[in-house]
Copies of this chain bind each other. A is one copy, B any other.
Amino acid sequence: MEPVLAHSVRLDGDAVHVLDRRVFPFERTWVRCETVEEVAKAIEDMVTQSSGPYFAALYGMVLAARTLSDKPFAEAREELARAGALLENTRRTNNALRKAVALVLETVDTAGTVEAAAEGARIGDERYRERSRRLGEYTAELLPDDGCVLTHCWADLYLTETVSAAQRNGKRLRFVCTETRPYLQGARLTAETLAEMGVETTLITDGMGAAVLQSGVVDALVTAADRVTMDGHVVNKVGTLGLAVAAHAFGVPFYAQVQAPDLGASTKEDVPIEYRDGAEVLSTLGRPTASQRVRGLYPAFDVTPPRFVTRIVTDRGVLAPDRLTDYHRGEER
């Protein structure tokens, strides 16, 4: 069964509909955006996250283009670029927004009409899903026919495509997922999505991963990576490092998923770590859960050194963390 989060940004009629991940799965609320400005606001307000902003930006560009079809191309192209800048500026560290906007503008430029924005969005949507599907297939090949996977946070389409590929191949996978404080992406998004896909799923708190890895029930630790440096450092949601170190200590392989290693980051010093407001650690779903007399610390990501990483799974195959230049080899020739 297709889980709702696999298609949670939809262009439908005259609006983009965005599933509100902030309240999922307690409520299944869709935010309706009729203009590119409303799409930008939804991204800025974190209605969607992970791959969601990429799809929202693609379809936000389509909404903008529809309002420009009566104008001369040069003028329409200029206004469309301004709409793109508006989308990009909602979350400045998110490379996916820039990629979505650039792809739509390129398609428009090639066609010589802003109406081609719809075609650009379709290409961007399909390309992202296709790359995730290949990555999911490579990941599923690494997993046993009957086994248990530990995952952390929310790997989005990488997760759903891995599960789909395993199901197509007749593999029986069980999952353990961490709740992923402070925003509970594991407890809310991952747990609910795996349940929707019919996967036997067990939820643990973030402190229980090492005990579960030590117990011998887990065959592999699998997480997405926000970025992977060319020398094999895995940058992902904070908590990944602790699980990777424990997996290494107890002989469980760690597979990190990324469409491609980042040519722009040769090593970890090239990746600034985002620190979010420490106050976010002092509450859960908006309700205080801690002493308010201390400060919270919230590094959003951590960096796992290559010695704790077994393999990097990309859309072009499975690579050792010290062989990531192989990914781009075909392009260089």
Shortest distance between the CB of A247 and any CB in chain B (Å): 10
Asked whether B184 lies within 8 Å of A294 as measured between CB atoms, the reply is: no
**A26 to B293 Cα, complex, angstroms:** 11
Contact A290 to B188, CB < 8 A, known contacts A211-B302, A241-B214, A297-B176: yes
Asked whether A211 lies within 8 Å of B289 as measured between CB atoms, the reply is: no
Considering only CB atoms, which chain B residue lies closest to A195 in the complex?
Answer: B293
Copies in the complex: 2
* 8 A Cβ contacts from A161-182 to B: 176-182
What residues of chain B lie closer than 8 Å to A216, measured between beta carbons? none
Asked whether A289 lies within 8 Å of B187 as measured between CB atoms, the reply is: yes
Size range of the chain A interface in the assembly: 35 or more
Asked whether A178 lies within 8 Å of B207 as measured between CB atoms, the reply is: yes
**A114 to B124 Cα, complex, angstroms:** 82
* 8 A Cβ contacts from A258-307 to B: 278, 281-282, 284-285, 287-291, 293-299, 302-303
Asked whether B207 lies within 8 Å of A290 as measured between CB atoms, the reply is: no
**A176 to B296 Cα, complex, angstroms:** 9
**A204 to B245 Cα, complex, angstroms:** 18
Q: Does A50 contact B (CB under 8 A)?
A: no
Contact A285 to B293, CB < 8 A, known contacts A207-B206, A241-B246: no
Asked whether A210 lies within 8 Å of B242 as measured between CB atoms, the reply is: yes
Asked whether B179 lies within 8 Å of A289 as measured between CB atoms, the reply is: yes
Interface residues of A (CB under 8 A from B): 25-26, 152, 176-182, 184, 187-188, 191-192, 194-196, 201-212, 214, 238-239, 241-243, 245-246, 248-249, 278, 281-282, 284-285, 287-291, 293-299, 302-303, 308
Q: Pick 21 A–B contacts, CB within 8 A, sort by A.
A: A26-B288, A176-B297, A179-B181, A179-B281, A188-B290, A194-B294, A202-B295, A202-B297, A203-B295, A203-B296, A204-B296, A204-B297, A204-B298, A205-B238, A206-B206, A211-B241, A214-B303, A241-B246, A284-B285, A285-B287, A285-B289
